[in-house]
């Protein structure tokens, strides 16, 4: 079983924004940003469907999913692969919906997607291959965005 450590949990719950890849019916990729990605438990991620009908349509036909969550300053993150389950009612749906409302999500949520993560791997910038340190990249990108 895949199990998240505290570093992964902290990164995902802090960043929230991630990129979700699904497979379209014609076999082409569909990539959609999601601003509600969170850790559900030690091996599952969750996100709210607010405005992504293609993501839900694709997952209905093929539950394979990949989610990338990256810190834009340190250029470090994780790639999660797994299988999605779509919730639109029931106790689990209501409990997770309450979680998102408590986190301040005001948009209408039509579905909750629960992802059973089967594997994950770290993503790092090629800058680390050049000997740069995390602090170097954080400073560089903060200056860039300022």
3-state secondary structure of 33: strand
Residue 36 lies in a domain: yes
User: How many domains does the chain divide into?
Assistant: 1
Residue 1 lies in a domain: no
Per-residue pLDDT of the chain (146 residues; tens, 9 = 90+): 579 999 999 999 999 899 999 999 999 999 999 999 999 999 999 999 998 889 999 999 999 999 999 999 999 999 999 999 999 999 999 999 999 999 999 999 999 999 999 999 999 999 999 999 999 999 999 999 88
Residue (of 6, 5, 7, 132) closest to 73 by Cα position:
132
Element (H, E) at 123: strand 111-124
Angle at 14 between CA 69 and CA 44, to 5 degrees: 60
Domain region containing 88:
6-145
Query: What is the CATH number for 95?
Result: 2.30.110.10
Residue 52 lies in a domain: yes
- DSSP code for 126: G
The size of the chain, in residues, is 146
């Amino acid at each position: 079983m895949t199990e998240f450590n505290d570093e992964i949990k902290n990164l995902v719950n802090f960043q929230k924004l991630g990129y979700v890849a699904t497979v379209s019916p014609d076999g082409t990729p569909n990539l959609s940003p999601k601003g509600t990605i969170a850790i559900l438990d030690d091996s599952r991620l969750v996100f709210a469907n607010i405005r992504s009908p293609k993501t839900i349509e694709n997952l209905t036909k093929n539950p394979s999913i990949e989610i990338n969550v990256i810190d834009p300053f340190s250029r470090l993150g994780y790639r999660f692969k797994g299988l999605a389950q779509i919730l639109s009612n029931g106790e689990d749906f209501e409990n997770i919906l309450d979680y998102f409302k408590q986190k301040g999500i005001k948009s209408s949520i039509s579905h909750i997607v629960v992802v059973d993560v089967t594997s994950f791997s770290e993503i790092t910038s090629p800058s680390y291959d050049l000997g740069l340190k995390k602090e170097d990249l954080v400073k560089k990108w903060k200056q860039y965005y300022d």
